[in-house]
Amino acid sequence: MTSKTNNKPNNKIEPLPIREILQTLEQEYPQTETDLHYSNPFELLLAVILSAQTTDKQVNKITQKLFPKIKGPHDILNMGALRLENEIKKCGLYRRKSRHIMETSRLLCDKFGGVVPQTRKELMTLPGVGRKTANVVLSTGFGLPAFAVDTHVRRVSRRLGLSRGKNDLAVEKDVCRLVPKELWRATHRRLISHGRKFCRARNPLCKSCPLNPFCPSAGKITA
């Protein structure tokens, strides 16, 4: 009697080494505080709005001069659009950002009593505030569970196999399913740091990357 050999392909998907990935990220990037300088949720909100297409270092230079002149949204409204533009003119897209900050400040005063709201839905009613900005304010400013996705987070998450999502919301949902809620903020910051240091958009440093043993994309990225 001859035995039959099972030639069916093995379609079993190996479990993602999420624990090892998170531990390696923690070892590599123990500091998880934002690089933006702020002292209250309103300042953080302004800093995040200003940070679009502008480095955190440049934003900090701008806010170092701006923040001592304001205590809240009322002061922005009293400052006026032209003066605000002059304060932030070294920031990319400063005219658009000035308009958003003025409109946001007005809405905060009219609808929220001059206080930054603590829900994503309410934050996203503010001009210039999308889901990423809202999540940063929630997690960093208020310590609430939220996971923000930017270009670095999206790129690194997809390369590591944490997500196959084709948009930021899909990536956010995928990563949040894998990562414990209490680690969302820290993981967000660590993925950004990793994207800047090793997992660059072009010419990533795969050979020296500490996540190389767990990365399905290691050595396969050509651009």
**pLDDT tens figures, 74-102:** 999 999 999 999 999 999 899 999 999 99
| Whether 73 contacts 109, CB under 8 Å | yes
Integer-rounded Cα radius of gyration of the chain: 21
| 66's tokens | 């701006």
Give mean pLDDT, residues 62-76. 97
Better-predicted residue by pLDDT, 13 or 119: 119
Give mean pLDDT, residues 57-79. 97
Model confidence at 16, pLDDT cuts 50, 70, 90, reads confident
CB atoms within 10 A of CB 88: 23
Burial class (CB in 10 A: 0-12, 13-18, 19+), 202: exposed
Percent of the chain with pLDDT over 90: 89
pLDDT at residue 222 tops 80: no
CB atoms within 10 A of CB 31: 9
Evaluate the CA torsion angle 108, 112, 116, 120 in order and state its sign: negative
Q: Which residues are catalytic?
A: 132, 150
Query: What backbone torsions phi and psi does residue 5 show, to the nearest 5 degrees?
Result: -95, 130
pTM: 0.88
pLDDT of residue 223: 53
Mean per-residue pLDDT of the chain = 92
pLDDT at residue 221 tops 80: no
Give the chain's domains with CATH numbers.
Answer: 41-141 (1.10.340.30), 147-214 (1.10.1670.10)
Model confidence at 163, pLDDT cuts 50, 70, 90, reads very high
| 137's tokens | 């304010």
Give mean pLDDT, residues 108-119. 97
| 71's tokens | 């205590």
pLDDT at residue 201 tops 80: yes
What value, to the nearest 5°, has the Cα angle with vertex 10 and ends 7 and 14? Answer: 165
pLDDT of residue 218: 87
Nearest-angstrom CA–CA distance, 131 and 148 = 8
| 3's tokens | 């035995």
DSSP per-residue string spanning 143-164: --------HHHHHHHHHHTS--
Q: In this predicted model, what pLDDT tens digit does every residue of 166-175 receive, in sequence order?
A: 999 999 999 9
Q: Which residues of 125-156 are buried (b: 16+ CB within 10 A; e: fewer)?
A: ebebbebbbbbbbbbbbeeeebbbbbebbbbb
Model confidence at 11, pLDDT cuts 50, 70, 90, reads very low
| 189's tokens | 């910051």
| Whether 84 contacts 102, CB under 8 Å | yes
